[in-house]
Amino acid sequence: MIEVSREKFEELVAEALDTIPPELTRVMDNVVVVVVDDPPEPGLLGLYTGIPLTERGDWYAGVLPDRIEIYRHPICTMCASESEVVEEVRITVVHEIAHHFGIDDDRLHELGW
């Protein structure tokens, strides 16, 4: 377990977002990424809540943003060094963004995520 301040953790999430290729970030729409200390249920490192891009149609308008939550405490608890936190944050951010693009957990696991 390693302690990472909320401010530093938010920086790590921002840095992970910066690694997403521009051709993908350009098509991300109506989504917010936030750091939350604790998940709503044990075992979660991140959570996507919303309507994936692949499921949106002409009816999609005037809705609240999708939400990607990255959970600080579980990630810090499972890591022994800051470099491990950096890597786990990156993996979690990519995983949750993939859900925004309509990629489910089974497919992510097939792809090695």
* pLDDT value of residue 90: 97
Domains of the chain: 6-51+64-111 (3.30.2010.20)
Query: Interhelix angle for 82-100 vs 6-18, to 10°?
Result: 50
Q: How far is CA 64 from the centre of its chain?
A: 18
Q: Strand 31-36: give its sheet, edge to edge.
A: 31-36, 66-71, 46-49
pLDDT of residue 113 exceeding 80: no
For residue 33, name the pLDDT band (cuts at 50, 70, 90).
Answer: very high
pLDDT digits (tens, 9 = 90+) for 48-97: 999 999 999 999 999 999 999 999 999 999 999 999 999 999 999 999 99
What average pLDDT does the segment 2-14 reach?
97
